[in-house]
Amino acid sequence: MAQVIQLRRGSTSEWSTADPVLAQGEIGVDINVNRFKIGTGLTSWNYLDYSAAFDIIIQSSNEKLVFPTFASATGISSIGISTEGVVYAPNSGNLGIGTTNPSSRLTISGDVNVTGIITANDFNSASDIKLKDNVKTIADPINKIIKIDGVSFDWKNNSKPSMGVIAQNIEKVLPELVTDGDTKTVNYNGITGLLIECIKSQQKQIDDLNQRIDNLSK
Residue spans per domain, the chain: 8-108, 129-217
The 8-class DSSP code of residue 47 comes to G
Burial class (CB in 10 A: 0-12, 13-18, 19+), 148: middle
Confidence of residue 52 (pLDDT cuts 50, 70, 90): low
**Average pLDDT score over the chain:** 80
pLDDT score for 13: 94
Most confident of 93-97, 114-118, 192-196: 192-196
Maximal CA-CA distance, the chain: 107
User: Which comes out higher in pLDDT, residue 95 or 199?
Assistant: 199
Q: What is the mean pLDDT of residues 51-69?
A: 46
Give the whole-number percent of the chain exceeding pLDDT 70. Answer: 78
pLDDT score for 137: 95
* Cα 2 to Cα 113: distance, rounded to the nearest angstrom: 31
pLDDT score for 92: 62
Residues in the chain: 218
Reported as a single tens digit per residue, the pLDDT across 133-176 is 999 999 999 999 999 999 999 999 889 999 999 999 999 999 99
- Total-model pTM: 0.57
Q: What is the mean pLDDT of residues 65-90?
A: 43
Instruction: Residue 12: name the closest of 38, 36, 31 by CA.
Output: 31
Backbone phi, psi, residue 37, to 5°: -125, 150
pLDDT at residue 53 tops 80: no
